[in-house]
Every structure is written in C-alpha cells, then in structure tokens.
Homo-oligomer: A and B are copies of this chain.
Amino acid sequence: MHRIKMIIEYDGSNYHGFQIQPNAHTIQAEIESSIEKLTGKPARIIAAGRTDSGVHALGQVIAFDTDSSIPPEKWQFALNSVLPVDIRIINSSLTRSDFHPRFDAISKNYIYKIYRQRSGSTFYRKYALLYYEDLDLGAMQTACKYFTGRHNFQAFCASGSSVKGYEREIINCQWKQELPFLTLEISANGFLYNMVRIIVGTMLEIGRHSYPPYTVQQMLNSGYRMEAGPTAPPQGLYLQKVVYGE
C-alpha cells in the first residue's frame, strides 16, 4: 500500500458539500467511486477541509491509500478521465504513509468573492455573492484588523457545532478590490464551522454601516453567535490553498 496526495478543484454548485452522506450527491462520493472504477476496490479519501453545499475549491487537498500499479503522478490524468467535469485533479503525487491532509495542515487560505456590477452578474450567480449596494471598503478593511491575530472565534462559529476549542489564529485578512470583484483573502491555522461566511456576513454589515468596525472586538469578547452578523451565502466561498510544512 502507498498513500497518494492530490490537489483538486471543484465547482460546488451541484453538490451537497464535500463530505459523503446517504442519498446525497457529494464530492467525496464522486471521487471515491471514481477511484473504485479505476482500481476495482473500494476507496476512502481524507480531505483537508469539508466544504459545505455550494462552496467551491481551487486547492482542496485529499489523500488515500492504494495498492494500485497506477504511478502516483498519473492518478491526475486517470481520475480526470472518469470524474465529472466539475471536479478536476490538479496534481497527484506519492506522499508519506502517515500524511494527513487535515491534521498536517499549517494553514488554510480561503477567498470570498463578491460581484459588484449588475451587468454580467448572471454569469457569476453561482460563483460569487451578487451585491450591488454601496459598501464602505475602508470600514471593512479596518474590521479586518480586528479579526487578524489569535482570538476566541466562538461568536463566528455556527451554533450547534461541537469542537474542543474556539481559539484560532488569523494570519492574513484583507479585501482586494479588482472591479467588478471585491474579494476577501483570509488565512488561518484553522477555521471553525461557517467561520469565513460569518466573518464575511459581519463585514458586509459593517460595510453598509449597520455597525462600526470596532464592534468586531465586542463580538470576539462576547463569544455569542447572535452578536455577530449573518452567515454569508456559500457561492462566494472558495477553499484556495492548504499549506503544509513539508
């Protein structure tokens, strides 16, 4: 047996998220059944992050064990020939037998794309949040500073999710405006469930002056989900890259 590491991208529009579940069309199920088509044996993959329904990936990382004679770097082409076109393998390679895509990750980069123009918007409705109203970009950049650093992010975690701790470190958090797009780049050593989308939903409220940027500090202090803003919709979110120490 040997372990294969793959970098993949997918259009999450037509899937009920990454993680396999009964009677649902998931990215994990597509990849596992595609591996089985090639090897004739059931496969189980592990991913760096479990993206939600409608969320996309440009650089998701997965790993799986196989005794197949397919050379590691050929898995990319072999799988792309059987996978649906909305899931693409970008790279495949041999990795060490104890490599774990999630536990070994040092940081993850997400982007959240907002489309700011009415013209052409229908082409981005599944690939960005369509948002036309005025936004105070300065206030949103100020809010980024409050998010950056090591904090307890319980207020920015979907209620009902169970994790051991809520402390995470945001390494980078900034808005890049390249019209017609406004894009949040955000990296952290880990993210809580729905954390990026709640951060974006909160920053949109700040951008439309529902409350000032410094209230982010109060939200972080409170730890109450209801203090933070709404959860932004999934279609703007992309898992862009997972960083490892190797």
Contact = CB atoms under 8 A, between A and B. Distances in A.
B125 A85 contact: yes
Given A119-B9, A120-B9, A125 B58 contact: no
A146 to B, nearest CB: 31
A120 to B, nearest CB: 6
Contacts of A121: 88
Contact of A122 (B87, B119, B122, B123): B87
A85 B123 CA distance: 10
Interface of A: 9-11, 56, 58, 85-88, 90, 118-123, 125, 127
Count the copies. 2
Contacts of A120: 9, 58
A122 B85 contact: yes
A56 to B, nearest CB: 7
Dominant secondary structure at the A interface = mixed
A140 B118 CA distance: 33
A86 B11 contact: no
A127 B122 contact: no
A241 to B, nearest CB: 11
20 contacts: A9-B119, A9-B120, A9-B122, A10-B122, A11-B122, A11-B123, A56-B123, A58-B119, A58-B120, A85-B122, A85-B125, A86-B122, A86-B125, A87-B122, A88-B118, A88-B121, A88-B122, A90-B118, A90-B119, A123-B127
Given A56-B123, A85-B125, A86-B125, 14 more contacts: A9-B120, A9-B122, A10-B122, A11-B122, A11-B123, A58-B119, A58-B120, A85-B122, A86-B122, A87-B122, A88-B121, A90-B118, A90-B119, A123-B127
A88 to B, nearest CB: 5
Contacts of A90: 118-119
> In this complex, which of A56, A87, A119 has the most chain B Cβ atoms within 10 angstroms of its Cβ?
A119
Nearest to A13: B123
Contacts of A11: 122-123
Nearest to A58: B120
